[in-house]
Copies of this chain bind each other. A is one copy, B any other.
Amino acid sequence: MAHLEVPKGNFFEDFTVGQNFQHGVPRTISEADATLYLALTGSRFPLNCAFTVAQSCGFNTAPLDNFLVFHVAFGKTVNDISLNAIANLGYAEVKFEHACFAGDTLSVSSKVIGLKENSNGKSGIVYVHSIAINQFDQVVVSWKRWVMVAKADPEANQTETVIPAYDTSVSPEQLHIPEELSFKNWQPHFSDNQLKLDDLSIGDVIFHRDGMTINDSDHSLATRLYQNNARVHFDQHMMNDRPNPHRLVYGGHIISMCRALSYNGLGNIAWPCAINAGTHANPSFAGDTIYCQSEILDLMALEDREDLGLVRVKMLGIKNNTPDNMDSMFVEKDGKRRHHSDVVLDLDYWAFMIR
């Protein structure tokens, strides 16, 4: 008999460049995930809500929201990659490939593509490339991310330093459009007769007006649904000893809230297809009210497609404040440009939008 140690996740010194992880807990996504996602976010993008709309767009049934799919896939990586994370520093090259439907099972793997120890010797940055496939071995979504991970032993040497290349934005020719997808039969009332691609100009800014307050149960349910087991989201007893003694809201829940809020104004952005960059600029806690503002970074027609085009959006999440009350989303601090302390999310994404 013995006191057995439980898995405590990997520490910085446990990673090596080239290492592969086949993550645990494959997950079949069901209609219920889609329904629960509506209840958790209030999302109203009709392609994901109605079989009739989905069929008018060429699908047999409603595809799952790509951000829901991303959160489930991301959740699988936490146990191996970021259980001892100090900070999630960013992601890039998030590419949605095959559409995901109820009944599909996701399996996720990651490869370590870079490592860099911090100068203080107590932690380091781990860079991974993660891929989620379905039961037909088709890629559903892939991404790169980097995360600051603690060392268990400050004396452990981690001499190898590899900083991987990644694109600061996904180039349009790398974007995947589901082969079925067509908006030729789209009826404008599906999405409340909102702005279409050709109504937008680069540089346009839209404050989406609605706010949504986070309840502790909301973010706990969402994060458990994604089977993301990072303790900071769930364990208030542990968090009581922290300087900011609250459970942290999983950043992906903020992404989904902002995406849902953005329907009011950009309801025709029907198919997010890539995330170029993402930053969780400040933490969120239960009780915070989240607002969203979008900026149009780029617009592109596609050859032979009258029904849709590409839009690149900078989506900002703001807590307990609204853009009309703020001089800027950024502040200067120590000569550096930083996000305003009320900005919680800065997400740069590509999407197919109805023309």
Contacts and interface: CB of A to CB of B under 8 A. Distances in A.
Interface of A: 1-4, 6-8, 22-28, 30-36, 38-42, 44, 46, 49-53, 62, 79-80, 103, 105, 107, 135, 189-195, 200-213, 215-218, 220-225, 227, 229, 231, 234-238, 247, 264-265, 267, 287, 289, 291, 296, 320-321
Nearest to A107: B52
A192 B38 contact: no
A2 B195 CA distance: 14
A49 B1 CA distance: 32
12 contacts: A2-B203, A3-B207, A24-B189, A24-B191, A26-B46, A26-B190, A28-B49, A28-B62, A33-B35, A39-B221, A50-B105, A215-B216
Given A3-B207, A49-B227, A213-B220, 16 more contacts: A1-B203, A6-B209, A24-B189, A24-B192, A25-B190, A25-B191, A30-B31, A30-B32, A32-B32, A36-B39, A38-B227, A210-B229, A211-B235, A211-B238, A217-B218, A236-B287
A108 to B, nearest CB: 10
Given A24-B189, A26-B50, A31-B31, A264 B7 contact: yes
A18 B220 CA distance: 45
Contacts of A207: 3, 6
Contacts of A33: 35
A135 B52 contact: yes
B205 A4 contact: yes
**Copies of this protein chain in the complex:** 3
Nearest to A228: B42
A44 B32 contact: no
A35 to B, nearest CB: 4
Contact of A4 (B190, B204, B223, B227): B204
B42 A229 contact: yes
B6 A206 contact: yes
Contacts of A201: 1-2
Contacts of A28: 49-52, 62
A209 B227 CA distance: 16
A296 B205 CA distance: 56
A33 B33 CA distance: 11
Contacts of A193: 24
A50 B25 contact: yes
B24 A267 contact: yes
